[in-house]
Structure 1
Amino acid sequence: MRYNLKSNIILSVLLACTMAFASCSGVKGLAKPDLQMPSAFMDSPTTDSLSIADMDWWEFFTDEPLREIIMRTLENNRDMLKAQARVDELRALYGVEKVNMLPEITGTVGADHETNNYHGDGVDKDPEFDLKLSVGWEINLWGALTWARRQSKAKYVATVEDMRAMRMTLISQVASAYFRLIALDNELEIVRQTLLTRQESLEQARLRFEGGLTSETVYQQAKVEYATTASLVPNLESEINKARNAITLLMGEYPEKEIRRSALSLYENLPERLPVGVPSSLLQRRPDLRRAQQNLEAAMADVGLKYANRFPNLKISLSGGLENDELSTFFKSPWTYVGGNIAGPIFDFGRRKKKYEASKAAYEQARYSYEQAVISAFTEVSNAVVDYQKAHESALLKSELCDAATKYVQLAHVQYRGGSLNYIDVLDAQRRFFDARIGLSNALRNEYLAIVNLYKALGGGLDPSPKSTAHSTSPTH
């Protein structure tokens, strides 16, 4: 009776100590991230809770060739595949930490035959046959195993967010490269159309010069304009080849001579305003912020782990089986062994304490990194909103300029034929018309690039594959 009472008292004391230490896990004093995000983006034209980032990428980008390119990129890009392999690696390591809280069971089957002849007294034979099973279990006394599992889980989830961030970035990169390519196509088409016009002008100038109707100066001016335009073609063709190869590189494929793509319309108007949602939605949507949050969680778990490692750990082992020197009586010789040990530091001269203090400093670094990531994300969205607004304004102004330049060059040709305008003025009108068309093409390209960047900054484009290919109303249709 006294033995049971004494055992219960000891057990109660140990339990009370365990609960006391567990309640003081070493992480309660850690500061939480100080975010204090504004309720709306500074330059956002709307306060709608909806956001374009709520749209799946195959709904946002409704251009069919672009969809196909994005799909091939997500399936074949080597960086994407490497990120997936990294996720698989961390998932397996997290599985290891999960089962570390369970007992480990090992088995041994063995046989040996030893002979000895000490001092020449004759040969002494010592055979032995074993069949043993051992169970070892580390008791999660101070929560070290729990913190290790939480840390491993946070690192695993962080790699998942890394992969999601890469997917989002790849979609943005592919879309941007695609719009640059079709803008170059459009620019080359403008140059070739202009080249035909200037070839006709050159032929007319030659005939008028040879007929004595104009001076040689007019003819040479026409030749200069034609040669200037023709010199643009090789460079543009080279840029198109590079842009096409940049896309195939993102797709994880070798260069191709042709990539199926649409044309850039100079008469398409994108929306003036786009819903961007509220800043707090970035915390749930942007994978880079979620990764930073998981890094913070891992740092906090490391603090708890380092704190728990300052105290002794308890391991229990149980072994049993059969052991005999003869097979005939092997199953009549059971063998068991039960043991337990508590191991911990007595004098480590502050090593574990310093590691604990270092882990708290590492947590502070992770906290500041998380706060900075949130501020950076907020700033990126604000910049992207303004960039799109200004790109849209520029495209509208360039469109008006192109309309005016069209009328200007038409009037210049009419007045030149009527003899009221010099040929140099016609060349000036042609140059302004050419520059206006190129400027409009570049402005539309910049508008598309701005909307892609805004979509990415808001956290759009996360899902790995389309659930449906149905068309929907989209700014990039």
Structure 2
Amino acid sequence: MAPEKWWTAFEDPVLSEVIEEALQNNLSLAGDWEQYKAALAVLKSRRSFLWPEVEATAYSAISRPEPDFAGGENLQMGVSAAYELDLWGRIASGVQAEKFRSEAAFLDYQSAAMTLSAETGISWFQLVTTHKQLELAEQQLQTNQKIMRLIRNRFSSGQIRAVDILRQEQLLESTRNQKVFYETELALLQNELSVLLGIPPQNQPEFPTDSLPQLPPLPATGLPLELIRRRPDVQQAYALVMAADREMAAAIRAKFPRLSLNLSGQMRSNDYNNLFKDWAYTLAGNIVAPLFYGGRLNAEVERTEAVKNQRLFEYGQVVLTAFREVEDALIRELKQQERIQILQRQLELAQKTNGQLRIEFLNGISNYLDVLLSLDREQQLQRDLLEAQQVLLETRIELYRALAGGFETERTATLP
């Protein structure tokens, strides 16, 4: 089974540092956390309906001219409490719905954290690969410049044609173009990584970009049921189903009678000295039974039922997509490894062919066009092999993401 923090499987301290910094400083992820905190606040607000509402009132007035009482003053103070008995569980169902929604918001944060870690890992591997591609382009440029000097010397002695020099110049300019391309990609990837780390692109972080990590052993995928229990996006979809179910229950129970109790106590006087001498209280019960609302309550039940069914179908789709993503990642990794083996074999053959053609060219057996085409092919295979190795690492990240479970961040570690 893959570890919760999948990047630790690569045993690359630089990769771990980059991803941990992204999880700590990324602004979008911080926004997702605030969304979860807002969902918790809504849950607290909904829970308050399970308790009585208590209010205190104070009233002071003066009348001129004095109509009914001496001094023209009217002082009142009182306390009132109101409480609805949740006979049918309507309020409790609403609370449960918000509880599931807050869980969904937390799982959405975990999904966002997993997505961010994967995006950061892929961007980092692309950055390292592009840096290596740039180094390779510089080496190939130096090689092609040396060959250019060699064939110019042979041209002066009449051993080579002018068209061969032009062809070599074309290869030289093509290599320069590759170098410019990789320089551009490197700058863009640095900007992309900076934004993922929550810092301005002009403040690009400095990380070693020496080499790509080794591919870890293939993790066990586990049983499909374990996959459903691990993935936060699947759990989030299930939480939304349960929230919709509780909302439908609340809508159904809103059609039943409501019973509420009201208790109030009040003191009244014409002056402050006598305010606390006399007081009165009132206890009342109130029952409301819906009779005719123009079909509004039934329509709400139908709406919540449709939403519940929608969430149920979405949950099934998320589960199917989760299964497919695991299978797709396994297939892509297997085929990518086969492709790398083929590219390595092609590169070996190209190097041997290029070496043999150079010997034949120096001995006057082969023409320079064969050497040029072989050299171009070898250099292209070197670039293709680096890119294929990067794609293999990206495919492994996609597999870890497909097998993802929620992992703890600095924010989740502060939860009670």
The structure-2 alpha-carbon separation of the partners of 1:203 and 1:258, relative to structure 1 and needing over 3 Å to count, comes to farther
Asked if the contact 1:171–1:461 (Cα under 8 Å) also holds between the matched residues in 2, the reply is no
2:209 — aligned with what? 262
1:300 — aligned with what? 245
The structure-2 alpha-carbon separation of the partners of 1:466 and 1:190, relative to structure 1 and needing over 3 Å to count, comes to farther
One-letter identity of the residue aligned with 1:353: N
The structure-2 alpha-carbon separation of the partners of 1:296 and 1:457, relative to structure 1 and needing over 3 Å to count, comes to same
Q: Map of 1:69-468 to 2, 5 A cutoff?
A: 69-116=18-65, 125-255=71-201, 256=203, 259-264=206-211, 270=215, 273-460=218-405, 462-465=407-410
1:46-94 CA-to-partner distances (Å, cap 9, x unmatched) read xxxxx22x34235224322222221221122111111111111110110
1:3 — aligned with what? none
Report the Cα distance in structure 2 between the residues aligned to 1:331 and 1:465, rounded to whole angstroms: 55
The structure-2 alpha-carbon separation of the partners of 1:258 and 1:313, relative to structure 1 and needing over 3 Å to count, comes to closer
The structure-2 alpha-carbon separation of the partners of 1:257 and 1:290, relative to structure 1 and needing over 3 Å to count, comes to closer
Task: Point out the structure with the larger helix share.
Answer: 2
TM, length-normalised to structure 2: 0.93
Query: How many positions carry a matched residue from both structures?
Result: 411
The structure-2 alpha-carbon separation of the partners of 1:460 and 1:366, relative to structure 1 and needing over 3 Å to count, comes to closer
Unaligned stretches of 5+ residues in structure 1: 1-50, 468-477
1:248-283 CA-to-partner distances (Å, cap 9, x unmatched) read 111121114564133345xx7635743211211122
1:56 — aligned with what? 5
- The DSSP-based 3-state class of the residue aligned with 1:331 is coil
The structure-2 alpha-carbon separation of the partners of 1:128 and 1:92, relative to structure 1 and needing over 3 Å to count, comes to same
One-letter identity of the residue aligned with 1:263: D
One-letter identity of the residue aligned with 1:180: Q
Report the Cα distance in structure 1 between the residues aligned to 2:96 and 2:205, rounded to whole angstroms: 50
Q: Identity of counterpart residues, as a percentage?
A: 25
Report the Cα distance in structure 2 between the residues aligned to 1:117 and 1:258, rounded to whole angstroms: 79
**Structure 1 residue 348: deviation in Å?**
1.9
Asked if the contact 1:115–1:125 (Cα under 8 Å) also holds between the matched residues in 2, the reply is no
Report the Cα distance in structure 2 between the residues aligned to 1:370 and 1:86, rounded to whole angstroms: 21
Report the Cα distance in structure 1 between the residues aligned to 2:387 and 2:380, rounded to whole angstroms: 10
**Structure 1 residue 204: deviation in Å?**
0.9
One-letter identity of the residue aligned with 1:414: I
Report the Cα distance in structure 2 between the residues aligned to 1:83 and 1:174, rounded to whole angstroms: 17
> Which has the higher relative contact order, 1 or 2, with Cα contacts under 8 A spaced 6 or more apart?
1
One-letter identity of the residue aligned with 1:365: Q
Report the Cα distance in structure 2 between the residues aligned to 1:132 and 1:337, rounded to whole angstroms: 11
Asked if the contact 1:106–1:133 (Cα under 8 Å) also holds between the matched residues in 2, the reply is yes
Unaligned stretches of 5+ residues in structure 2: none
Structure 1 range deviating more: 455-464 or 182-191? 455-464
Asked if the contact 1:206–1:219 (Cα under 8 Å) also holds between the matched residues in 2, the reply is yes
Report the Cα distance in structure 1 between the residues aligned to 2:341 and 2:216, rounded to whole angstroms: 11
Report the Cα distance in structure 2 between the residues aligned to 1:408 and 1:258, rounded to whole angstroms: 43
The structure-2 alpha-carbon separation of the partners of 1:58 and 1:441, relative to structure 1 and needing over 3 Å to count, comes to closer
**Structure 1 residue 411: deviation in Å?**
2.2
Q: CA RMSD in A?
A: 2.2
The structure-2 alpha-carbon separation of the partners of 1:277 and 1:63, relative to structure 1 and needing over 3 Å to count, comes to same
Report the Cα distance in structure 2 between the residues aligned to 1:429 and 1:80, rounded to whole angstroms: 49
